[in-house]
Structure 1
Amino acid sequence: MGAVSCRQRQHFRVPTPRKCGNIQGPLARGWKSLWCGVGTIRSGLEELWELQGHQEPLRPAPLLLEKTLSEWPVPQFISLFLPEFPMRPVRRQQQLKILGLVAKGSFGTVLKVLDCAQKAVFALKVVPKVKVLQRDTLRQCKEEVSIQRQINHPFIHSLGDSWQGKRHLFIMCSYYCTDLYSLWAAVGCFPEASVRLFAAELVLVLCYLHDLGIIHRDVKMENILLDDRGHLKLTDFGLSRHLPQGARAYTICGTLQYMGERAKDGG
């Protein structure tokens, strides 16, 4: 999932993704691209849209789940993302209320939402299906969820739920309002005792992941959240991979600002 930090940095992958020839029409952009297949999330976005001064008439698309899931085979635009992104009943989506925007990046939008049934706040990543297919990141998107489902560690940002709508994928995790970069920018130099604690917890997380054959590939301060007790929560497994013992990943990926000049040049 994308980091829940409001600070955005440039991400990239090499080689360049192939275009998917069976996708028709322009790529939906902005808040309006999130209306379709979201239950009451759509209504929340309409309210935010109006608050920002956009008064054009709103015509939400009809919800997808009008038939029971037993009426398979399902359309390809749904089956491609199964089983990592199952369909959810409309009533489950209607329990979510948007509280605000957390972050918006090249891979999707992260919203702060309230689950009215659980009376708990979550971070919800919303990714357009068209964008996943156009960028040829279907495998990576499904692996992100698959990896998060199999890991359980006190210093890892755990997955709450994942599902799909008519045009979007949804990944929901616990909400934390602070990340390590924002804290560093606010207070400046950390005390040595804090640095030791952060380093120890991060090493424990990485050792745990590596023992499972998982590489994160985008460890940075923006992807390290802090809970209310000040402990780390490593997040954003969007570039992570699960590799057999002894295998290697050869894709150059990560955040450009954190790379040395040789890595940027492909050297």
Structure 2
Amino acid sequence: MDSQSSKSSVVGQGPSSCKTTVLRDQYEVLRDQYEVLRDIGHGGFGQIKLARHCLTGAQVAVKVLQKKGQRFRLLSESNIMKSLEHPNVIQLFQVIETRKNIYLVMEHAGGGQLLDQVPPGGMQEEEARRLFREVVCAVAYCHDKGMVHRDLKPKNIMLDDRGHIKLIDFGFSTWVTPGQRLKESWGTLSHIAPEIIQRPTYEGPPVDIWSLGVTLYFMLTGKLPFMGSTRKETIRQIVKGLYHDPPHVSLAARMLIYQMLTLDPRKRPTAKQILRHIWLMQGEQHLPPHYQEALLKQPDLEILTIMFDMGYDLHKTWMSLAKRKYNGAMATYLLLQHQKSQGQGFMFQGKPVPPLVQPQPCPLDSSHSPVLPIRSPTEPALRTFSLPCELPLPEEAKHSGQKHIRTASQPPIHLHFPPARTPTPGLHSPSDSGQLHASRKLWKRVTRGIATCVRQLCCCIPRVSNGVAPM
């Protein structure tokens, strides 16, 4: 998801009617769900397009991968992304496969590349520490999952609109087991570890640690540690570990760089050990809370209500989530969840659900009221509906499906869930009191209905396995 500019978000464009005049023939498969806006970069195996989800108005990045005999490698990338859930790793929303291409619909990190955020001479250590800590958190998470990135560099580290790190581009990534040796000589020369150049096999995690050392050096100095005038000279510097020690950088930071750029991979620290380094522990009060994956135990009823109004079949939607299909229904749910997690709202465009979803008739004409109404505390937050819980779930749904569904951090386009308004005591008129009493009675009936619905829904929720997605 390399971006051509740090200003990669579209300015002044809200949700549209999803006209497809800008679509080229090869993007017709996206027509029913997305509006492709423009190119924003390229990754290891394909182009990156900025697009807008038609139903929610959320901006997404679409990575277009051409198969051309490398279908296994491309499917491996999508499977790796399906199994990753971390606030500092880019989120996958949908996978669309055609005869020629694979389309990965992902979170759009609108803050641009880390590469573009580093000024000449390097960043201030406080800011570099905050960002690098998030990068290491993402790498430690990936290593714990048994995955190595193998192409860590500032171009593959993005920032979202709030200035937080998003690790991207898993085209060279692979699954590893402890002690497993790898053979492929992949990566970017200026960030590649010496053992990849010198040895027939290497271990995966230490390779990422070396790349982290190169990245931190660049963040603090604005220069790469190994950059000869020729390719041969660059290789010589890497295999000998020759770089200039930056005198303006603090001693603690220089010592951390030295440890990560150790020639012997067995002596390099792990990602978790780096997080405990004295330099990164400074300002520990600013550390994010300990991240813990949340298993998908029950759906968000508010999001399902919105999708019901859109015309989605809720049983099929829940099956898509439980079996981790990454189809249109799952993408819509994740995008709404994504917006809600940011305290943002969404605007339903009144467009039909994509034909493949087989929508149910919508009881409300959303074209006359496209914006969700503001509700007072006495009004029901959710409209009641019946879920198809009397139908038993497919047996495979109880055993398939991945471990979790990720939260995300990309905000939608300037739309808000209005906060609940607390009525001011003593300002109610007699008529207001009567309406309040009636509303409370209605609310009691609605909450009883919701409770019944939740109990029915919980009876038909599939068990989720802890398996890791295969390559």
TM value normalised by structure 1: 0.62
Equivalent in the alignment of 2:90: 157
Residues 41 and 94 in structure 1, CA contact (< 8 A), matched pair in contact too: no
Amino acid at match of 2:75: K
- Where 1:163 maps in the other structure, the secondary structure is strand
Equivalent in the alignment of 1:123: 61
Equivalent in the alignment of 1:207: 140
In structure 2, the CA distance between the partners of 1:198 and 1:105, relative to structure 1 (3 Å rule), is: closer
Shift of 1:140: 2.0
1:231-250: per-residue Cα shift (whole Å, max 9, x none)? 11111111100112221212
Distance 1:94 1:227 in 2: 27
Distance 1:150 1:196 in 2: 28
Distance 1:184 1:190 in 2: 6
Shift of 1:261: 8.2
Residues 65 and 74 in structure 2, CA contact (< 8 A), matched pair in contact too: no
Distance 1:184 1:207 in 2: 23
Residues 23 and 35 in structure 2, CA contact (< 8 A), matched pair in contact too: no
Distance 2:65 2:44 in 1: 10
Residues 113 and 158 in structure 2, CA contact (< 8 A), matched pair in contact too: yes
Residues 122 and 173 in structure 1, CA contact (< 8 A), matched pair in contact too: yes
Shift of 1:205: 1.3
Unpaired runs of 5+ in structure 1? 8-39, 47-59, 64-89
In structure 2, the CA distance between the partners of 1:210 and 1:41, relative to structure 1 (3 Å rule), is: farther
In structure 2, the CA distance between the partners of 1:225 and 1:245, relative to structure 1 (3 Å rule), is: same
Larger helix share, 1 or 2: 2
Shift of 1:200: 1.4
Equivalent in the alignment of 1:239: 172
- Where 2:182 maps in the other structure, the secondary structure is coil
**4+ residue runs over 4 A deviation:** 40-43, 264-267
Query: Identity of aligned pairs, percent?
Result: 28
1:71-126: per-residue Cα shift (whole Å, max 9, x none)? xxxxxxxxxxxxxxxxxxx6x64221111111145621110001111210000011
Equivalent in the alignment of 1:196: 129
Asked whether 1:183 is paired with 2:117, we answer yes
Residues 20 and 31 in structure 2, CA contact (< 8 A), matched pair in contact too: no
Amino acid at match of 2:58: A
Determine which structure has greater relative contact order: mean sequence separation of CA pairs < 8 Å that are 6+ residues apart, divided by chain length: 1
Shift of 1:138: 2.6
Distance 1:94 1:117 in 2: 10
In structure 2, the CA distance between the partners of 1:261 and 1:200, relative to structure 1 (3 Å rule), is: closer
Residues 4 and 176 in structure 1, CA contact (< 8 A), matched pair in contact too: no
Equivalent in the alignment of 1:4: 2
Larger strand share, 1 or 2: 1
Shift of 1:4: 3.0
Q: Which of the two has higher C-alpha Rg? A: 2
Amino acid at match of 2:2: V
Distance 2:44 2:90 in 1: 21
TM value normalised by structure 2: 0.36
Distance 1:200 1:256 in 2: 24
Distance 2:19 2:189 in 1: 33
In structure 2, the CA distance between the partners of 1:41 and 1:124, relative to structure 1 (3 Å rule), is: farther
Unpaired runs of 5+ in structure 2? 6-17, 198-230, 240-471
